[in-house]
Amino acid sequence: MRSSKSTQTNFQKPRNKREPPAFPFLADFLVRASENQFARKVLLTLPTRVLRRPSYPLKTPTVARVEVTNRCNLSCRMCLHQSLEDIGDMELKTYRKIIDLLPKTVSYVNPTGFGEPLLHEDIVDVIRFARQRHKYTEIYTNATILDKEMAKNLLASGLWSIHFSIDGTTKRTYEGLRRGSKFETVIENISNFMAQRRKAQNPPQVVMRVVIWKNNLHEATRFVELAYNLGIKNVLFQALQHFWNSELNKPEYSIHSEEAIDHSKRMFRSTQEKAQEMGVKLKLPAVNFCPKIRCSQPWYLIFINWKGFATPCCAVYDVNVGSILDQSFSHIWWGPKLVSWRSQMKSLWPPTHCRNCGDR
């Protein structure tokens, strides 16, 4: 590696009347069949608000986020990267070792963490190695350094899916949130990637990923239009995470704030209509506040940072549940820290991170 520099009593909460019906027995069935690759895929694709989490976690996870770098070339107002002190890259040999230490049930690997993955000098080899190990690989990128050569190499690497982070449809909105970026450059880079993708043999899936919050909510329908014009058929809105130690860490910035909820519902309805009209697949966050934590990440996913430490999910960076380089995987997955975290998530007093999470 190269470096440049919390237990509570578990009570079952009463069901919220507005909550959609949950069918944990479906997830339980798939957990029992989790050794079957098709069953694992079904579990990952079913809508989480209908399926919910299983009654108990998968024997071993199906998804791994292995952060190869937490370095970033931007200073985004909504990101906890601003507060990180320990910055560095995971060496390629360490990444390979971790991939081989993961359970065979892990079918999906994403090398994105709290940095820009394209900054890692071996990112193409990272993707190729995971593909050689028969893993579906996916990355999230701000596309600021996605030049023609990088696009060509990514398309030839065996990459399964790529998410472009675009949080504004105008220069003012985008650059006001993602400081250090140039809107025109990002759009040009994505346009070039999509042009090369049309000529590629097994091209990756492409998703536009949008952090939606109070100040870009008015552009919701325009994100669908922008995606359509770029040739992107999938748009995913992710609610602002306001529990991070970032500039936008106050609930009033969220689409779930009391004054924003009605506006959010109206904008999302019109955005759904626009997406249907244009043939764009759209995924929206829940707007109504539900006191019950619906997230199921710690039941099927493991996040490993650039130092090899595991955390409960991809949005939690300051909780260490074990080191995959020093402990067996089962000791982490079934260890007291992660088991306690899952129990708290189902209790009346979930972890602070979960209570304030936009994806709860």
| In the predicted structure, residue 192 carries a pLDDT above the cut 60 | yes
* pLDDT given for residue 243 in this prediction: 58
Looking at per-residue confidence, does 59 or 97 come out higher? 97
Query: Of the given ranges (5-14, 91-100, 101-110, 171-180), which has the lowest mean pLDDT?
Result: 5-14
Tokens read off for 146: 């996605």
In this prediction, residue 290 has a pLDDT band, given cuts at 50, 70 and 90, of: low
Predicted local distance difference test score (pLDDT) of residue 287: 80
Digit-coded pLDDT (tens) for 64-93: 999 999 999 999 988 888 778 899 999 999
The pLDDT of residue 95 is above 60: yes
HSE-CB for 146 with a 13 A CA cutoff: 30
> Residue 82: its pLDDT value, please?
77
Q: Give the rounded percent of residues in the chain with a pLDDT score beyond 70.
A: 81
- Which tokens is 266 given? 């109206």
Residues in the chain, overall count: 360
Give the pLDDT mean for 184-213: 96
| Res. 146 pLDDT band, cuts 50 70 90 | very high
> What pLDDT is attached to residue 15?
37
Please state the rounded mean pLDDT for residues 109-134.
Answer: 97
Q: Tens of pLDDT along 13-62?
A: 333 333 333 344 454 555 455 445 565 555 555 554 444 455 567 788 99
| In the predicted structure, residue 245 carries a pLDDT above the cut 80 | no
- Residue 330's pLDDT band, with cuts at 50, 70 and 90, is very high
Q: How far apart are CA 187 and CA 226, in angstroms?
A: 10
SS (H, E, C) the chain: CEECCCCCCCCCCCCCCCCCCCCHHHHHHHHHCCCCHHHHHHHHHCCHHHHCCCCCCCCCCCEEEECCECCCCCEECCCHHHHCCCCEECCHHHHHHHHHHCCCCCCEEECCCCCCHHHCCCHHHHHHHHHHCCCEEEEEECCCCCCHHHHHHHHCCCCCEEEEECCCCCHHHHHHHEECCCHHHHHHHHHHHHHHHCCCCCCCEEEEEEEECCCCHHHHHHHHHHHHHHCCCEEEEEECCCCCCCCCCCHHHCCCCCCCHHHHHHHHHHHHHHHHHHCCEEECCCCCCCCCCCCCHHHHEEEECCCCEEECCCCCCCCCCEECCCCCHHHHHCCHHHHHHHHHHCCCCCCHHHHCCCCC
pLDDT at residue number 218 = 95
Residues 273-285 pLDDT 10s? 999 999 999 999 8
In whole numbers, what is the pLDDT of the chain averaged over residues?
85
In this prediction, residue 54 carries a pLDDT of: 56
Q: How far apart are CA 53 and CA 48, in angstroms?
A: 7
Average confidence (pLDDT) over 233-251: 81
Longest alpha-carbon distance in the chain = 56
pTM recorded for the entire structure: 0.84
- Does the structure show a pLDDT above 50 at 338? yes
Q: How many CA atoms lie within 13 A of 168 on its CB side?
A: 18
Mean pLDDT of the region 319-343: 94
User: Token pair 């106050």 is at which residue?
Assistant: 250
| Minimum mean pLDDT range among 10-19, 230-239, 288-297, 298-307 | 10-19
Of 235, 231, 279, 237, which is closest to residue 256 (Cα–Cα)? 237
Q: Which of 70-79, 189-198, 221-230, 248-257 has the lowest mean pLDDT?
A: 248-257
Average pLDDT of the segment spanning 279-294: 80
Least confident of 124-128, 168-172, 204-208, 310-314: 310-314
Average confidence (pLDDT) over 226-250: 86
- The pLDDT of residue 8 is 34
Q: What pLDDT is recorded for position 36?
A: 57
